């Protein structure tokens, strides 16, 4: 018998909301839980890739290079660089939200906690599993915190702000930013490897795969 229910409604894309509208948009309890689960998972994924020791995500190449020259842990470097990036939002006139500030703080703390709990395995298979697992978890964590609709992360906001101001394509701006931070990270002695390349190729498709499922439907 043919169903009369009709097709399922598509999952919505994240809305472009201002800081106050993000908090007033409804379902705040669910969205806050999802936001912080996503940010903690993001920090855990960073720690997993570090312990895999097969290369880091582009921005983390920069962070790992920075800590070779200043007395900071990796998580502290993530926090410091997040606030440095937020200063670049000012001329771009980007507006931070609760998720933006939370991103700047929580990811670094979760990364340091993970590094405290995990040791670097000696077996290559285990290191590879940590690298791949970290990339997959990072893609899911990205979809979680973006889908909570409580503001972009500092680095995401820098990218979208540059796109809006320059009129360039998102892909071009993102690629340019990530190449720049990898080069600076390399000059500082950051950790580049197979994981860096795999992350660059996989993170976009992984986040796009899960984002429709993780985007919280907001009341109209």
**pLDDT tens by residue, 48-63:** 999 999 999 999 999 9
Residue appearing with tokens 């609760």: 98
Domains contained in the chain, number: 1
**Dihedral (CA of 183, 165, 142, 82) sign:** positive
Rounded Cα gap, residues 159 and 54, in angstroms: 26
12 pLDDT band, cuts 50/70/90, is low
DSSP state of 136: H
Is residue 4 situated within a structural domain? Answer: no
**What is the 8-class DSSP label of residue 71?**
S
Encode pLDDT of 60-91 as tens digits: 999 999 999 999 999 999 999 999 999 999 88
Answer whether residue 188 is part of any domain.
yes
- How many C-alpha atoms does 77 have within 13 Å on its Cβ side? 19
pLDDT of residue 11: 52
Is 145 contained in some domain? yes
Name the nearest CA neighbour of 35 among 84, 107, 86.
107
What is the arithmetic mean of pLDDT over 200-207?
88
Of all residues in the chain, what percent carry a pLDDT higher than 70? Answer: 92
Q: What is the pLDDT of residue 6?
A: 47
- For residue 184, give Cα distances in angstroms to 66, 67, 154, 192, 201: 9, 13, 18, 11, 20
Q: What pLDDT does residue 48 have?
A: 97
81 within a domain of the structure (yes/no)? yes
- Show the domain range for 76: 27-214
User: In sequence order, which residues have a C-beta less than 8 Å from that of residue 82 and are 6 or more positions away?
Assistant: 103, 104, 105, 107, 108, 153, 154, 155
Domain membership flag for residue 158? yes
Top mean pLDDT of 42-51, 90-99, 199-208 is at: 42-51
Q: Give me the pLDDT at residue 189, please.
A: 93
Tokens of 113: 């906690």
16: in domain: no
Contact present, 31 and 150 (Cβ < 8 Å): yes
Residue 15 lies in a domain: no
* pLDDT exceeds cutoff 50 at 4: no
With 80 as the cut, is the pLDDT of residue 23 above it? no
Instruction: Please provide the average confidence, as pLDDT, over all residues in the chain.
Output: 88
pLDDT (average), residues 7-19 = 58
Q: Please state the pTM of the whole predicted model.
A: 0.88
Residue 171 lies in a domain: yes
Mean predicted confidence (pLDDT) in 208-215: 89
């Amino acid at each position: 018998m043919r169903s009369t229910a009709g097709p399922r409604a598509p999952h919505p894309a994240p809305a472009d909301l201002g800081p106050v509208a993000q908090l007033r948009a409804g379902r705040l309890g669910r969205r806050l839980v999802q936001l912080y689960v996503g940010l903690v998972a993001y920090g855990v994924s960073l720690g997993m890739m570090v312990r895999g020791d097969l290369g880091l995500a582009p921005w983390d190449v920069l962070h790992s290079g920075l800590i070779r020259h200043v007395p900071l842990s990796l998580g502290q470097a993530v926090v410091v660089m997040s606030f440095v990036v937020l200063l670049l939002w000012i001329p771009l006139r980007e507006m931070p939200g609760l998720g933006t500030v939370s991103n700047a703080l929580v990811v670094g703390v979760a990364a340091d906690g993970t590094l405290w709990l995990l040791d670097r395995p000696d077996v290559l298979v285990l290191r590879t599993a940590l690298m791949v697992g970290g990339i997959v978890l990072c893609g899911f964590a990205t979809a979680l915190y973006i889908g909570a609709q409580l503001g972009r992360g500092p680095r995401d906001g820098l990218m979208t702000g540059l796109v809006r101001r320059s009129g360039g394509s998102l892909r071009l701006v993102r690629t340019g930013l990530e190449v720049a931070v990898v080069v600076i990270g390399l000059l500082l002695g950051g950790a580049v490897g197979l994981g860096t390349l795999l992350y660059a190729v996989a993170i976009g498709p992984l986040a796009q795969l899960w984002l429709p499922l993780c985007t919280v439907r907001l009341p109209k």
